[in-house]
Amino acid sequence: MGLIHHFFALALALSAPLSQAQRFKRLDTLLGACHMYTETFDTCMQDVFNDLRVFFKNGIPEFNIKPFDPHKAAYVEQRRGDLHGIGGYDLILKNVSEFGWSNSKVTKFKSDLDNNQIEYSQFFPEKSLEGTYEFSGKLMGAAVENAGIWNLTLYNYSQTTTVRRLGGPGSILKVHVEVDKIGGMTLHISDFFGSRAVHLNNIADTVINSMWKAGLPFLKPLINELVSTAFTDIFNESFRYFPISNFVK
């Protein structure tokens, strides 16, 4: 039951002009119709989530809930293999912003209240991410250490997110995101071959954006891991103590 309380902090970013009393009243009105341990609870919560998308760009200062569109992650790191071996690398993303949440739609919601777990599928007509990167590894046998900016846009994109509480109230939340479908993608990485190799950087962008479908089996696990890591941080930072139990019966 506690996990549901924190999940809906994502959706409950109500407009700034409302007083705290007005916020509580509005939350009670919106969520009070959903009753746990009933056959209609999951569909009710799915509808509520979609009704509240318009508020994702605001926040709830009383509960220290930050705006969620764009979603921001200060630091995400991904490592593969031995940095000195073939294919090993260390990728650090900083100041990541992720846009598109307000236009997304939850297409399926499933709760497991007894095990403090929820799973929901979400469709994005367009999701875009941007930030800076630092890369260390080997490329075609040569050591590479580069840094720059990057941006990624996904079209007709869908994902399934699973969130589970590992212990009692206030304990850590574990988040896993699984890519379901990518209809289209554009990716730009600056200075990957060095700031002077403008021609090679342009070729890399062209190759990636024309052949991304062939590389999808490789890209999907990377996207899953990066997004899951960022989500785990933001869930635990902002949503562990949100008292939604005051509203959902």
User: What is the count of structural domains for the chain?
Assistant: 1
Which of 30-39, 96-105, 150-159, 215-224 shows the lowest mean pLDDT across its residues? 215-224
Q: Give the SS3 label for residue 65.
A: strand
The pLDDT of residue 147 is above 60: yes
Bridge partners (DSSP) listed for residue 176: 162
Query: Could you tell me if 7 and 118 are in contact, meaning their C-beta atoms sit under 8 angstroms apart?
Result: yes
Q: Which of 113, 102, 101, 153 is nearest to 130 (CA)?
A: 153
Query: Could you tell me if 119 and 161 are in contact, meaning their C-beta atoms sit under 8 angstroms apart?
Result: yes
pLDDT reported for residue 208: 65
The pLDDT of residue 240 is above 60: no
pLDDT reported for residue 26: 63
pTM: 0.75
Query: Could you tell me if 50 and 106 are in contact, meaning their C-beta atoms sit under 8 angstroms apart?
Result: yes
What would the pLDDT profile of 60-75 be if each residue is shown by its tens digit? 666 566 777 888 888 8
What would the pLDDT profile of 122-137 be if each residue is shown by its tens digit? 999 999 989 999 988 7
Q: Give the SS3 label for residue 91.
A: strand
What would the pLDDT profile of 185-213 be if each residue is shown by its tens digit? 888 888 766 655 555 556 666 666 666 67
pLDDT greater at residue 32 or residue 2: 32
pLDDT reported for residue 187: 83
pLDDT reported for residue 247: 47
Q: Pull the structure tokens for residue 183.
A: 């209809």
**What separation in angstroms does the CA of 92 have from each of 60, 112, 188, 200?**
30, 34, 16, 22
What would the pLDDT profile of 29-48 be if each residue is shown by its tens digit? 666 678 888 899 899 889 88
**Band of residue 119 on the pLDDT scale cut at 50, 70, 90:** very high
- Averaged pLDDT for residues 95-118: 90
Q: DSSP alpha helices (H): ranges in the chain?
A: 2-7, 20-31, 41-51, 198-211, 216-238
Q: Please state the φ and ψ torsions of residue 112, each to the nearest 5 degrees.
A: -130, 80
The pLDDT of residue 1 is above 50: no
Q: Where are the beta strands (DSSP E) in 23-140?
A: 71-80, 89-99, 105-112, 117-139
% pLDDT > 70, the chain: 59
DSSP of 155-183: EEEEEEEEEEE-SSTT--EEEEEEEEEEE
Q: Pull the structure tokens for residue 31.
A: 């969520």
CATH of the domain at 94: 3.15.10.30
The pLDDT of residue 182 is above 80: yes
Range of the domain at 121: 2-246
The pLDDT of residue 229 is above 90: no
